[in-house]
């Protein structure tokens, strides 16, 4: 059976929209000079999860969907009282973590936890 595609829920709609708007500030986020038309189209999207999902289906590629899904998952964890810390990474460290996060379809924190836990012998 094929895996169901990710959909933005009503609960996550506002976070997802703000996240997309911030990402669209970087003209390189969407390839092939699609940023300006995507921004324009987003400005016409109604404030609903269904409308935002339709916009995402039209404008986002798999990599952007995955980034958004991971950001939403991390935001949910933060909102549920899970303790977090902020760290500074080198660009290279971030690229390595991001590569594994996309490959494993998880957040950066989950990559760190998984990789370090694998190396600990109890």
75-113 confidence digits (pLDDT tens): 887 777 667 777 898 999 999 998 998 888 888 888 999
Domain boundaries along the sequence of the chain: 8-84, 85-122
Q: Would you state the pLDDT for residue 96?
A: 94
* 53 closest CA partner among 18, 4, 16, 3: 16
| 84 vs 114 pLDDT, higher one | 114
Contact 102, 63 (CB under 8 A): yes
* 106 closest CA partner among 122, 91, 120, 117: 117
Contact 49, 15 (CB under 8 A): no
* 60 closest CA partner among 49, 52, 72: 52
Q: Would you state the pLDDT for residue 92?
A: 93
Q: Would you state the pLDDT for residue 102?
A: 84
Q: For the chain, what is the largest distance between any 2 Cα atoms, rounded to a whole number of angstroms?
A: 55
């Amino acid at each position: 059976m094929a895996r169901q595609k990710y959909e933005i829920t009503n609960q996550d709609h506002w976070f997802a929209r703000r996240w997309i708007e911030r990402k669209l500030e970087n003209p390189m986020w969407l390839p092939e000079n699609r940023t300006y038309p995507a921004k324009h189209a987003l400005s016409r999207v109604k404030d609903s999860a269904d409308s935002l999902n339709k916009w995402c289906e039209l404008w986002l590629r798999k990599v952007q969907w995955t980034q958004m899904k991971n950001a939403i998952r991390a935001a949910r964890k933060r909102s549920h009282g899970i303790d977090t810390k902020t760290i500074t990474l080198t660009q290279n460290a971030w690229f390595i973590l991001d590569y594994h996060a996309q490959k494993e379809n998880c957040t950066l924190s989950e990559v760190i936890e998984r990789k370090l836990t694998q190396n600990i012998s109890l």
